[in-house]
Amino acid sequence: MNSITAQSGFAHLDDLPCYVLSCGQAKAVISSYGAHLLSYQPKAGTEVIYLSPEAEWRNNSPIRGGVPLCWPWFGPAAAELNPEQQKLPNHGVVRTELWQMVQKSIADNSVSIEFRITTNGLAYQDAPAALSLTLVLTETDLSLTLNSDQAVQQAALHSYFRVDSVHQAVVCDLTGLYLDKVQAGKEFNQSTEDLRFSHEVDRIYLDTSDQLTLKDGKASIQISQQGHDASVLWNPGAEKAAALKDLPDLGYLDFVCVETARLDLNNTKPLHLVQHIRYLGQLE
């Protein structure tokens, strides 16, 4: 039976305000704290999303893992968004705010929930900004849609995907130019279509396709994108993982981030960023 139920806490995150969505065998858990997706199981016992066992949420901490929402900047705030050079948090200001659940729907073939938030007093704007995050779950897939009425901004759906081993993971259908943040943002051209993770990876792929595929040696996930101008691929590797207090030292082995992003500050269209996740099942 399809359903949406409120729940206090998830995994080790005590008292975290959450909603559990069920559609057939599929299940998702999302928190109103950051409108943060924590879990997606297309069928019982099959978890697609990685959540760090050392993630925290109290004391204004962003949750490590799941799908954090980055807005209105990605990484450090760009100079255009922070002209007064204030000390601002990485990846924006909405990850650690409580969003309001404004709508939920239960149908025969899907369930959906919508969260909204209005922000005031950001460094680069005088007027409040309204954002919404909508999650739609069906028996076969899950989609996240982030909308905003503001134009000059950056945004990303910073998805952590669980893998059996990062050394077996490969993201397919990636070609063309990318900025390598491990090498000071230098620009490179990737000639092959596959990216493997033998070491730290922190790349911004420009003008990526509308569909990517993540394979981890055992299973395959299709990641479709809309409203994006980039895809960010990230895994901290052993050294940086050991320095992160909310990630186990070997936690980097268990996930790959495939992020749907809009990073061009010259884009004047209102934000409409979509990531669509479909579990394709076990590899032959």
Active-site residue list:
158, 259
The H or E element containing residue 241 is: helix 237-243
DSSP 8-state class, residue 238: H
Q: Distances from the Cα of 42 to the Cαs of 19, 29, 179, in angstroms? A: 16, 12, 33
Cα–Cα distance for residue pair 73/35, rounded to 1 Å: 17
The radius of gyration of the chain from alpha carbons, rounded to an integer in Å, stands at: 18
Residues 133, 114 contacting (CB under 8 angstroms): yes
Which pair of tokens denotes residue 57? 């949420």
Token match 């978890």: residue? 47
Residues 258, 159 contacting (CB under 8 angstroms): yes
